[in-house]
Amino acid sequence: MNELPNSYPKELVLVRHGESEMNVRRAIALHRGDATDRLAHGLRDMDVPLTIHGHEQSAVTGRALMKEFGQFDAAYVSPHLRARQTFEAMTAIWDYHLPVNSEDRVREKEFGIISQYTNQGIRKHFPQEAERLEVNGAYYYRPLGGESYPDIGLRLHSFLHSLYSHQAGKKVLVVSHAAVIAMMRKLLEKFDEQTLLDLDGLSHGAHEVANCGVTYYRYDPEQNYLKLIEFNKVYYDDAA
């Protein structure tokens, strides 16, 4: 039997951005129990920067990626500042130049009117949105001016087919966000709604994608498809 042609990347490595200022603000607000107000004023979500620790996480991850994967052929990075800073910190010590493609289709989920609010804040300021979220469920809920998970899936379908067309047989790096990586896994592995919510930290016992968590797919010639090799691997040690 003739081997099927490979129309997929040889390796696909997905990395979530490092710790951001908004990650820290959200954690502090929840810990203090004062999570009813907006976490930042006058700051667009796409302009949220990394923390110093986020830069350190990214640098450690970059060294590990260089050791484990060698040279990438292409990179696609979310236009959000925290993702761009992650890519810059990861690649700063690499011994080759990797051109970067700023890719809108792997940008953060659009949260619309509820952006930068916790669930407590949504209930306080937007009770109708909170009710819609409860009725529709987190997967199908589309906030006013924002996106649902299937909306993210539509743009990721387009992105993946671009990879299949232009990066077949190549080693590809993508730096993005937790919701995008979770939805990418759903598309590639064809699992259900609940598994997606578990991956994005939206259900009891969830296992959210970590800051700088690395998810790795390799082309499997037997299946003629991308196969998950590793999910959410972290190379830094926060306890150190």
pLDDT per residue rounded down to tens, the chain (240 residues): 444 456 899 999 999 999 999 999 999 999 998 889 999 988 999 999 999 999 999 999 999 999 999 999 999 999 999 999 999 999 999 999 999 999 999 999 999 999 999 999 999 999 999 999 999 999 999 999 999 999 999 999 999 999 999 999 999 999 999 999 999 999 999 999 888 888 877 654 456 899 999 999 999 999 999 999 999 999 998 754
Phi, psi dihedrals of residue 192, rounded to the nearest 5°: -90, 175
Distance CA 17, CA 209 (A): 10
User: Could you read off the pLDDT of 193-204 as tens digits, one per residue?
Assistant: 888 888 877 654
Kindly state whether residue 3 falls inside one of the protein's structural domains: no
Supply the range of the domain harboring residue 178: 11-233
Kindly state whether residue 108 falls inside one of the protein's structural domains: yes
Kindly state whether residue 205 falls inside one of the protein's structural domains: yes
pLDDT at residue number 5? 56
Query: What CATH number should be reported for the domain holding residue 79?
Result: 3.40.50.1240
pLDDT at residue number 188? 97
Kindly state whether residue 141 falls inside one of the protein's structural domains: yes
Kindly state whether residue 4 falls inside one of the protein's structural domains: no
Distance CA 43, CA 40 (A): 6
Kindly state whether residue 226 falls inside one of the protein's structural domains: yes
Kindly state whether residue 120 falls inside one of the protein's structural domains: yes
Kindly state whether residue 53 falls inside one of the protein's structural domains: yes
Which residue stretches of the chain are H helix?
A: 21-32, 52-69, 81-91, 119-125, 127-140, 149-166, 178-189, 193-199
Phi, psi dihedrals of residue 227, rounded to the nearest 5°: -115, 135
Distance CA 114, CA 162 (A): 31
Q: Which two tokens stand for residue 39?
A: 């976490």
pLDDT at residue number 1? 41
Domain count within the chain:
1
pLDDT at residue number 240? 47
